[in-house]
Structure 1
Amino acid sequence: MAVEHVTSSGNVFADLGLSDPEGRLVKSKLAAALQRSMGELGLTQTAASARMGMPQPKLSKILRGRFDGISEAYITDGLRKLGHDVEIWVRPRHEGIGAVRVLETA
């Protein structure tokens, strides 16, 4: 039996044909950064949600990749409250549709 091999576009959400794949990818990378930060700080969901001023069920939803009704700004605000600097850059205009990227530094 042959196994079909498909090369990824680099965005699993686009590969799956989901709506707003770029937004979903950005939110998932921000959520991953949030998860790593909680681990580094040794915070439970309860402690992290209190520190961020975010209801624990909403934090749980974010960490499980359930982003309906959750904005990128909401997640970045949580990162800021955990002590992270979050920068947003707008680069010069070019032809076509621009991209959104999440870049982490050590």
Structure 2
Amino acid sequence: MSRSNPTAIEEGSTNVYEDLGYAHAAEMQRKAQLAAEIARTIQARGLTQQDAAALVGIDQSKISRITRGQFRGISEAKLLDLVTKLGHDVKIVIGPIQRRAGRIELQFA
């Protein structure tokens, strides 16, 4: 980068999918967060992908795709189910009614 031709830098939001203009960006971000937690849990527990697949009841190839962030075609509900099968508790809290559209937010303990 030369001083005569600086590159413009634009600060993004907290959702890269939204920044890139994807439809359903919030859902994609949640699925990415769940997939990342699945990958972290497998590593933290010292499981092979084969062991993890047997534990959660899906094919090793699907575990491989999920841990690489390739979760297209896998529902949020299925990812939540996998998280619980790997030993996490999942709590869903329905908040009070707002005068705006509600939102879904993930928090990891």
TM-score (norm 2): 0.89
- What value does the CA root-mean-square deviation take over the aligned residues? 1.1
Larger Rg: 2
User: In structure 1, how many angstroms separate the alpha carbons of the residues matched to 2:40 and 2:7?
Assistant: 35
Q: Match for 2:70 among 62, 66, 72?
A: 66
Match of 1:102 in 2: 106
User: Is residue 89 of structure 2 the alignment partner of residue 85 of structure 1?
Assistant: yes
User: Is residue 27 of structure 2 the alignment partner of residue 32 of structure 1?
Assistant: no
Q: Please list, as runs of the form range in 1=range in 2, the aligned pairs for 1:9-48 lying within 5 A after superposition.
A: 9-48=13-52
Residue identity in the other structure for 2:101? I
User: In structure 1, how many angstroms separate the alpha carbons of the residues matched to 2:73 and 2:56?
Assistant: 18
TM-score (norm 1): 0.91
Gaps of at least 5 residues in structure 2 are: none
Gaps of at least 5 residues in structure 1 are: none
**Contact 2:35–2:71, Cα closer than 8 Å, also in 1:** no
1:97: Cα distance to partner? 2.0
**Contact 2:36–2:69, Cα closer than 8 Å, also in 1:** no
Q: What secondary structure is seen at the aligned counterpart in 1 of 2:66? A: helix
Residue identity in the other structure for 1:103? Q
Provide the identity percentage. 38
